[in-house]
Structure 1
Amino acid sequence: MKKYLIKFLTGFMSITFFIFAGTSSMVIADTATTTITIFHTNDLHGHLIDEYNSAGTLTTIGMDYVAAIRNSVPDSLLVDAGDSTQGVPFANISKGKDVIKLTNAARYDVGVLGNHEFDFGLNAALTNVKNANYPILSANTIYNKLPFLKDIKGIGITENNGCNLIKMVNGIKVGFFGITTPETAYKTNPSYLKDSTSSVTFEDPITISQQEINKLKAEGAQVIVGIMHIGNEPTASPNSIDIANQLSGLNILIDAHSHTVENNVVNGTLIAQVGCYGEALGRIDVTVSDNGEVSSKETLINPADAQKTYTPDPAIKTLAEDLSNKQSTQFQKVIGHTSSVLWGGVVDDTSVARLVESNLGDLVADAMADNAREHIADTNVANLPVVALENGGGVRESIPAGDITFGHVSTVLPFGNLLSLKEVTPNILYQILENGVSKIGGQDLTTGVISGADGRFPQVSGMRFSYNPNGSPSNTSLTPAVTGNRIKQIVLLNSDGSDMQTLDRNDTSTKIVLATNDYENAGGDGYTMLSDIKNIGEGDALDVITANYIKKLTNQGNGTFSYPNSQNRICVDTDFIYPNYIAAITLTDKNGTIANKQVLYNLDNTSAAYGTTDENGILTITNLTSGAHTIYVYHNDNCNAAYVNDIIGKTAAASEMTAQSDEQKIAHHMMKKILALPFNITSSNVDTVNAALESFKNLTEAQKDLIANASLLISKKEIALSISAKKENSSTANPNVTVNNSFIFLLILINIITAICILIIYIKKNK
């Protein structure tokens, strides 16, 4: 009996195990998944080499780290969404060739054309595609009625239809297609999109995307990825959200162009973008189930985490260093010196030159106007007034105070744009400036804050203008174009900045020479009114012109120059009255927050004072006049500068302090010495003032320009001189006579005795 019971139990358990095993097997079969990892970059703009902050923390993920991270995940893919080959000097000097060398080394799998891939012309764009060892796509970029990149094969690439491809990864077919923003038609130099045969055009992203999805589906793609240089700017039409909403069958949209971070699902499509400039690397983990369901998750890898977790690829690190070293000599050459920070590009997430007058925008426009005057000096338009306009989007970076190198200038003006001259009338100039302010979103009627940064915003020279941001804007994309009424007044300026002449909006006869760049002249950024006006001259590249102007300013200033934050060339004309405001600057250094510390700060290099940070490291500065200010802060051996401007809502700033230069150390010491001078100058402390004055006199012009409270020293010097003069006069009133007080007393006594004797004799005689 026991024997049969054991057999029964054994059989029962076997059957039970078989049933459960079968059930488990079926469950696994139903839920079996495959994971594919896609790493992605966008808008690198030449930032392919590691960059670090003062604490040694990685801030830009270079290609050596990108490769290491990608290699840490077997069978992963690496994708770029465009605008990698243009930007900082590293990219520009080789017209993108050195960028391609590094992306080749990092083993990218596929890329897409961004608008700035065309910034060196059609031939350069095609050359970079041919030099890449991975396919680059753009299905909606058309040339001679065919995809622009059709049959343009890179190194080791056997075929390229220019539109799409399929990668087999872990047994899964992953389909990719590329889309380039139609804004490229005016967000690169329009003339760069043409050659003697034809020109590049851009078809509707939504229509072409759906066609590519359908093709890839028909070829068996199980996962479909759109690599789109489109962006999520609300003013773009369409933007990436619009596209995702209107497509069917798109699993992932790897985005670019707007320099924003995106990680959201729209209509079942994951939209992912990592910002710009190598500030992060995107990782998308795609899960595909056996029943065909696809799910995706985006994760951002920031530079600090990359540095902690991964070891950079040594071969790529060496290649990057070699390429950079070959370029470094010409970019490190010092061409000038500035005592003030020159603000442009993005400052604490605010695109300054795209929203308001900036001192670097003023300088670039002044350089253009100066060169234009030289250009027309011996022509029949030599006596015409000259004005200049540079689109704010072309002023890409700021320049710190101190020595200026050609590398600085090339980073500010990376596009290789040329100076172009045209003869315009006041009527045309009003149209031009109307377009320039047309994308301003308006003015908040409660705070007065202006919003709506756009690359077409004008930085000007030779003129000033006022505008109402709440007026009707121009729209040059319509046919016919609509001209707005925001510009209230344009005034031509004399060479000293004083007013010369107010222009009439309806004047179609007065002639003015306009210096601008070839991008705007070709109709870029909506300046379509310029495209049909004949050029009267062309000049050098803007970076060369600006570099020469900086040399000129430095020589004129005996070794340095400074530019005010604003020269009131662009003013808001509304009923809003801007009050004084309060600025809050958060101070940090390599050790963290600078809390509860006394610091020395100066405002616009014109005044200096002591302030104390709070427990959060915030320095509060009150009673600032409305407008832009630069606040220079000194603490121990560190310093930094912060930009504030209430008109654009930027009343708070974060400032990481770094080591002072030798000039800044001298300035810091001198400003402290001046602040330590007695409030009341008397004869007892004149020597202290004179000693400070002698120290100041021994400084170079560049060092003197950094002494924000020099005017205080000068005023105390005048008092000291007055006291010294009075003292000298009193001690030298009659230098030829030496008087003895005892002798004087004796003379007086003798005179008194003599008078008494005479009086006695007189009395006796008259008795």
Structure 2
Amino acid sequence: MKKKLTAYIVSIMIIISSFAVQIPVYAADTSDGSVSITVFHTNDMHSRVLDSFKNNVLTQIGSDYVSAIKKSVPNSLLIDAGDATQGLPFATLTKGADVIKLMNAAGYDGMVLGNHEFDYGQDNTLSNAKLANFPVISANTIKNGKPFLEGINGNNGCDFIKTVNGIKVGFFGITTQETSYKTNPANITGITFEDPIATSKAEVAKLKSEGASVIIAIDHIGDDPSSNPTSSDIAKNVDGINVIIDGHSHTLENTVVNNTLIAQTVCYSANLGRLDIKISPDGKVTAAENMISAADATKYTPDSNVSNLASQINEKQKQLFATKVGHISTALWAGTVNNQSIARIGETNLGDLIADAMKDSTKSQVQGTAYENLPIVALENGGGVRDSIPEGDITAGEISTVLPFGNILSLKEVTPAILYGVIENGVSKVVSQDQTTGVLNGADGRFPQISGIRFEYDPTKPSLNRVNKIYLLNADGSDKQLLDKNDTTTKIVLVSNDYEVSGGDGYTMLGNLKNIGEGASLDGIVTKYISDLTQNGNGTFSYPMVQGRSKVVSNYVYKPYTAAITLVGSDSKNLANASVLYSIDKGTVYSANTDANGVLKISNIPSGAHTVSILTSGAAADAYIDDLIGSGTVSPVSAALQVSNSYVAEKVTDIINKIPDKVTLTDKPAVTIARAAYNLLTPDQKTLVANSNKLTAAEKAINNLNPAPASNTTAPVSGKSNSNTSNAKPASAAKLPQTGSLVDTNLLIDLGILLLAIGAALFAASKKNTFKRLSQK
């Protein structure tokens, strides 16, 4: 279900607050002989069943407040109009079960299926319905010729009657036919969604025949003009419905159409709807809708039993958040790093991964539809990627921290012309590029993290006139096709999150386009993608730092740069004059020293973003550097050293893995560095290095090839070296990053001897006219 813009919701909240007042409690019987019934209602909670505060002000009405408000009116009812069990990680972790538990505790009396109730698959939809202590219904959702929910908890799956104050109130449920494409089609195989209008007519007749004096439709239909039918269409075409409790469009509804009151509360538990229905002695039914805002809700005392249950669920979920969902051998960067909003100003590898996951999920989403063979392009706004993920095990909690908003997959059909407009908006807030340093300015949440395309733009040009080229990409990331910005006919599937496609972050060109599909929550999609990558990689996977998906093209000449990284220990003190090992983007491992201020300086780094992996005695860290956003060039980057045994041991495991299975004398430097790394570990950390036997075997093989004192291969790298080597650039390593300290003197002597030996062998071979054969070896 698509979300409305945050600004729009805030505006609606201001409007609501102007008339959201405490509603007086009606007596069941009034002086004129009429009877009053109160029905509270929610819709599109998307798992917002816990209290949420901002600046100590309640902004989200949790189940404990809902329960208290319901109990304040004797014999009142509580109804939900769908899309309750999906949204935030709170729901994703248990596939909606914990949401149902809190709805049970709050005292819900009924609920209709929303399209996102199917996001975890139809089997899970049924299990959640069975868990509910209230009827979950949908009269137009059919499978195998009968209502999908028939027989669940003894209900017929279509409707139910509640007798309140002596009056029979009939409820029936209708689910939007858009569910066929607003969840993953694989989740609803064999299910059909019948005509809402025809089904409603049949339900009204049925409930009246069973003695219902009041008819209430619980519709997950909405009033979005792109929907067909809307709730207004149902009211116009179906007589006898007294109230439609609506959902799906995330809008504020309080209108009367054909004597039917249509009510909707916007979304996300920002409000609680209150219907006051009056039945006169002659059977005439009137209804009035009022809204209880979050501010009004605080006038009630939360139900302590529900609050305690929420706390218990949160405690149990802490364990689920710690559940391992994958493993990565490279850091994933995004969010704010070194006080820089890196995902809001350029490509990041975590942004790439999320966009790739969205594209991958969309492939199954469009399978078997008219969109199956169209190119798929994914876009995630950089502001929606909130944090980085370090090397090692990836937990469910980390993914929820990266993607905390409960956004869902949302699809639009676009053309190249529209796509150019989309990317122009994405880079429109990049203010400038410093022509002296190359640093970009103007970080903004709309910056596009993308998949399926790459683009080039010139930040020195006027906003909305910067994008030079957009290429569709092949599966291997190579260019497939240059798109024409004037092409208004070629069809492309653009997948983003529901906030962006509804016009958020300035993507207004998408807001009025028809939504052609919706999928699961982004955190769930990314979790599955990471799990699949881990499994396919036999337990781990890696992601490149950058893949060239967004390229800055200007007159600035990109040059190698120097990074300065301040190492901070667990005691919050800088690690001064320390020996360290480091590598860039998991490449060659070097030895170096920090200076008196704890700063590690690395020069001659190729322009762009890089990960610097650092290992020192018993501790390790990853640092992000990028000259295009000034990271490590203007002031030192800070890297906090971690002492987690598994994290530090993994660094050494990676270094040992670089050693070939069959070593030669040319591998001696790598073996020496690996031994130095291993010797930096604590005893506990060493026990976690599963491949230490590979190191021992490599050392033995090297010694057999060229026997040498054991101290040359087992002594740790001290970091001490001739200070004159600080700017040395050997011809063989002219393009490699340099630091103030290289590998130790003994190692250099060994390398010199090795080079002389190889030279002598080549000279002797040439004398025997066997150089060609030697080269072929």
TM-score by length of 1: 0.50
Q: Is the 8 A contact 1:416 1:542 kept in 2?
A: no
* Pairwise CA distance, 1:414: 10
Q: Is the 8 A contact 1:341 1:399 kept in 2?
A: no
SS in structure 2 at match of 1:272: strand
Mapped to 1, the partners of 2:274 and 2:417 lie a distance apart of 34
* Pairwise CA distance, 1:180: 0.5
Q: Which amino acid aligns with 2:634?
A: L
In the other structure, the counterpart of 2:413 is 435
* CA shift digits 1:228-278 (9 cap, x unpaired): 011111101111122122221111111111122222222222111112222
Mapped to 2, the partners of 1:138 and 1:320 lie a distance apart of 28
Q: Is the 8 A contact 2:378 2:451 kept in 1?
A: no
In the other structure, the counterpart of 2:559 is none
Q: Is the 8 A contact 2:273 2:289 kept in 1?
A: yes
* Pairwise CA distance, 1:140: 0.5
Q: Which of 292, 297, 301 is matched with 2:292 structurally?
A: 301
**2:272 matches 1:281:** yes
Q: Is the 8 A contact 2:251 2:265 kept in 1?
A: yes
In the other structure, the counterpart of 1:713 is 634
Q: Is the 8 A contact 1:47 1:62 kept in 2?
A: yes
Q: Is the 8 A contact 1:84 1:117 kept in 2?
A: yes
Relative distance call for 1:370 and 1:107 in structure 2 (3 A) is: closer
**2:70 matches 1:70:** yes
In the other structure, the counterpart of 1:115 is 115
* Pairwise CA distance, 1:707: 11
Q: Is the 8 A contact 2:469 2:482 kept in 1?
A: yes
In the other structure, the counterpart of 2:384 is 398
In the other structure, the counterpart of 1:567 is 550
* CA shift digits 1:420-473 (9 cap, x unpaired): xxxxxxxxxxxx9983569989999xx9999xxxxxxx985242489xxxxxxx
* Pairwise CA distance, 1:219: 2.2
Q: Which amino acid aligns with 2:188?
A: L
Mapped to 1, the partners of 2:163 and 2:33 lie a distance apart of 18
In the other structure, the counterpart of 1:35 is 36
Mapped to 2, the partners of 1:402 and 1:442 lie a distance apart of 29
* CA shift digits 1:359-418 (9 cap, x unpaired): 98754224578999xxxxxxxxxxxxx9984766x9999233567873363584999999
* Pairwise CA distance, 1:83: 1.3
Q: Which of 293, 303, 307 is matched with 1:317 structurally?
A: 307
Q: Is the 8 A contact 1:339 1:706 kept in 2?
A: no
Q: Is the 8 A contact 1:164 1:175 kept in 2?
A: yes
**2:95 matches 1:95:** yes
Within-5 A mapping of 1:651-666: none
**2:257 matches 1:256:** no
Unaligned runs of 5+ in 2: 1-28, 338-342, 363-372, 429-447, 457-467, 486-492, 497-513, 519-524, 553-567, 573-594, 603-611, 615-620, 637-777
Question: Could you tell me the percent identity over the aligned residues?
Answer: 44
Q: Which moved more, 1:201-210 or 1:359-368?
A: 359-368
Q: Is the 8 A contact 2:79 2:110 kept in 1?
A: yes
Q: Is the 8 A contact 2:412 2:495 kept in 1?
A: no
Mapped to 2, the partners of 1:703 and 1:105 lie a distance apart of 47
Q: Which has the larger radius of gyration?
A: 1
Q: Which amino acid aligns with 1:271?
A: I
Mapped to 2, the partners of 1:45 and 1:416 lie a distance apart of 10
Q: Which of 179, 183, 189 is matched with 2:178 structurally?
A: 183
In the other structure, the counterpart of 2:159 is 164
Q: Which amino acid aligns with 1:435?
A: E
Q: Which of 506, 510, 529 is matched with 1:542 structurally?
A: 529
RMSD: 5.6
* CA shift digits 1:527-582 (9 cap, x unpaired): 89xxxxxxxxx998236469999x9999977xxx9x99x9389xxxxxxxxxxxxx
* CA shift digits 1:55-112 (9 cap, x unpaired): 2222221111111111111110000111112222222222222222111111211111
In the other structure, the counterpart of 1:345 is none
Q: Which amino acid aligns with 2:321?
A: F
Q: Is the 8 A contact 1:79 1:108 kept in 2?
A: yes
Q: Is the 8 A contact 2:454 2:471 kept in 1?
A: yes
Within-5 A mapping of 1:133-172: 133-153=133-153, 159-172=154-167
Q: Is the 8 A contact 1:245 1:267 kept in 2?
A: yes
Q: Is the 8 A contact 2:533 2:541 kept in 1?
A: no
Mapped to 2, the partners of 1:150 and 1:234 lie a distance apart of 32
Relative distance call for 1:326 and 1:547 in structure 2 (3 A) is: farther
Q: Which amino acid aligns with 1:318?
A: N
Q: Is the 8 A contact 2:86 2:119 kept in 1?
A: yes
In the other structure, the counterpart of 2:235 is 244
**2:251 matches 1:265:** no
Q: Which moved more, 1:254-263 or 1:202-211?
A: 254-263
Q: Is the 8 A contact 1:151 1:160 kept in 2?
A: yes
SS in structure 1 at match of 2:244: strand
Mapped to 1, the partners of 2:265 and 2:53 lie a distance apart of 19
Q: Is the 8 A contact 2:412 2:516 kept in 1?
A: no
Relative distance call for 1:464 and 1:246 in structure 2 (3 A) is: farther
* CA shift digits 1:557-614 (9 cap, x unpaired): 7xxx9x99x9389xxxxxxxxxxxxxxxxxxxxxxxxxxxxxxxxxxxxxxxxxxxxx
Q: Which amino acid aligns with 1:183?
A: E
Q: Is the 8 A contact 2:626 2:632 kept in 1?
A: no
Mapped to 1, the partners of 2:280 and 2:627 lie a distance apart of 65
In the other structure, the counterpart of 2:194 is 203
Q: Is the 8 A contact 1:286 1:297 kept in 2?
A: yes
SS in structure 2 at match of 1:74: coil
SS in structure 2 at match of 1:183: helix
Mapped to 1, the partners of 2:416 and 2:290 lie a distance apart of 37
Q: Which amino acid aligns with 2:80?
A: D
Relative distance call for 1:114 and 1:390 in structure 2 (3 A) is: farther
Mapped to 2, the partners of 1:442 and 1:714 lie a distance apart of 36
Mapped to 2, the partners of 1:397 and 1:143 lie a distance apart of 41
Relative distance call for 1:107 and 1:540 in structure 2 (3 A) is: closer
In the other structure, the counterpart of 1:463 is 453
Relative distance call for 1:714 and 1:462 in structure 2 (3 A) is: same
Q: Is the 8 A contact 1:172 1:222 kept in 2?
A: yes
Mapped to 2, the partners of 1:229 and 1:244 lie a distance apart of 14
Within-5 A mapping of 1:214-253: 214-253=205-244
* CA shift digits 1:458-508 (9 cap, x unpaired): 985242489xxxxxxxxxxxxxxxxxxxxx997344899885644899xxx
Mapped to 2, the partners of 1:442 and 1:703 lie a distance apart of 30
Mapped to 1, the partners of 2:235 and 2:151 lie a distance apart of 28
Mapped to 1, the partners of 2:165 and 2:95 lie a distance apart of 37
Q: Is the 8 A contact 1:122 1:192 kept in 2?
A: yes
In the other structure, the counterpart of 2:717 is none
Mapped to 1, the partners of 2:348 and 2:166 lie a distance apart of 55
Relative distance call for 1:242 and 1:102 in structure 2 (3 A) is: same
Relative distance call for 1:408 and 1:244 in structure 2 (3 A) is: farther
Relative distance call for 1:254 and 1:515 in structure 2 (3 A) is: closer
SS in structure 1 at match of 2:177: coil
Q: Is the 8 A contact 2:396 2:527 kept in 1?
A: no
Q: Which of 491, 495, 499 is matched with 2:471 structurally?
A: 491
